[in-house]
């Protein structure tokens, strides 16, 4: 597709289980970003990739969170041993290389931990 695609769109999981969230960026976009948005809150930056490397992991909330990107394209955000406070919408965005470029967001994955 032409836009950023995220899957699944909704995920309900039991506390303590691991989940994987997928992001397919726009073709040719070298930068990829993950954010999370809890109900009624603003967007919280988690991690970003430049190609396959992650220069900034400062936003990952704990060591239960990890992310990887392969082939400069698809990225996976993994949350291990999920907790109820992990419930949120996880948003992915991508952008071209270079300054002053806009980022395009996907529709997000709504994660509910029960």
Partner 1 sequence: DAKTTQPTSMDCAEGRAANLPCNHSTISGNEYVYWYRQIHSQGPQYIIHGLKNNETNEMASLIITEDRKSSTLILPHATLRDTAVYYCIVRVANSGNTPLVFGKGTRLSVIA
SS3 84: helix
Q: Which of 27, 53, 70, 99 binds partner 1 (CB under 8 A)?
A: 99
- At 44, list the tokens: 């919280």
| β partners of residue 22 | 7, 76
Q: Under the criterion CB under 8 A, does residue 71 sit at the interface with partner 1?
A: no
Using CB under 8 A, which of 67, 108, 111, 113 touches partner 1?
Answer: 108
Report if residue 111 touches partner 1, rule: CB under 8 A: no
The Cα 14–Cα 104 span in angstroms is 31
Phi-psi map region of 72: left, alpha, beta (phi>0 left; psi -120 to 50 alpha)? left
- Count of residues near partner 1 by CB under 8 A: 27
- Chain centroid to CA 27: 17
21 binds partner 1 (CB under 8 A): no
Instruction: State the residues that interact with partner 1 by CB under 8 A.
Output: 4, 30-31, 33, 35, 42-43, 45, 48, 50, 55-56, 91, 93, 95, 97-108
């Amino acid at each position: 597709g032409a836009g950023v695609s995220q899957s699944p769109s909704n995920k309900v999981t039991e506390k303590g289980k691991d989940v994987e969230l997928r992001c397919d960026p726009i073709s040719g976009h070298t930068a990829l970003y993950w954010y999370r948005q809890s109900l009624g809150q603003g967007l919280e930056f988690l991690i970003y990739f430049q190609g396959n490397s992650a220069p900034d992991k400062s936003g990952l909330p704990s060591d239960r969170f990890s992310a990887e990107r392969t082939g400069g394209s698809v990225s996976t955000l993994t949350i291990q041993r999920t907790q109820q406070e992990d419930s949120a919408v996880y948003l992915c965005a991508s952008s071209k290389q270079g300054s002053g470029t806009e980022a395009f967001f996907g529709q997000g994955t709504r994660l509910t931990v029960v």
